[in-house]
Amino acid sequence: MKPLLPILAAAGLLALAAPASAQNAGQIANVRAGANCPRCNLFQADLSGKVLKGRNLAGARLRQADLSLAEMNRTSFAGGDLRDVNFYGGVFGGASFAGANLTNASLVGAYLQGANFRGATLTGANLSGAEMDRAVGLTQGQLNRACGDPSTRLPHGFSVPSCR
């Protein structure tokens, strides 16, 4: 019986190291097909290049998802977990990111005109080349925690530190 104890202990440690909540493949498939999915678990979802305009993904967990080159105008991400999401070159005009956590998200080259960032967390977000001069709800405090480059378009009077 003694040789079995180390094996059981190792198995227990592996179980503890597993992610707390992995992605939900069914929910991801539904969203890819065009469904609304508020408060869904879309962890690491690949939605790159998808056209999903006007969808409700409020409160969804999209952490580490790929939304590069997606067209998601007027989609609600309000209150969502968008940490480490890749929005590269995507179109998110009029989208709501109100209260969302965009920590370390890459919004490089994203179109964000009319997007709502009221209460959003932008710590570590890369806004290089993002078009957001008509975004609403932005504060200088939010932008001070993000970074961008000379091609980042912000509302008049706002600035963003340079990415290193």
Within a domain: residue 32? Answer: no
Q: What is the pTM of this model?
A: 0.86
Within a domain: residue 66? Answer: yes
Within a domain: residue 162? Answer: yes
Cα angle vertex 160, ends 158, 164, to 5°? 170
Within a domain: residue 124? Answer: yes
pLDDT tens sequence across 112-135: 999 999 999 999 999 999 999 999
Within a domain: residue 70? Answer: yes
* Res 10: pLDDT: 45
- The parent domain of residue 101 ranges over 37-164
Q: Residue 61 belongs to a domain with what CATH number?
A: 2.160.20.80
Within a domain: residue 31? Answer: no
Within a domain: residue 3? Answer: no
pLDDT tens sequence across 84-111: 999 999 999 999 999 999 999 999 999 9
* Res 21: pLDDT: 58
User: Bridge partners of 126?
Assistant: 106, 147
Residue in 22, 60, 29 with CA at minimum distance from that of residue 44: 22
What total number of domains does the chain contain?
1
Judged against a pLDDT cut of 60, whether residue 4 lies above it is answered with no
Within a domain: residue 90? Answer: yes
C-alpha span between 117 and 121 (Å, rounded): 8
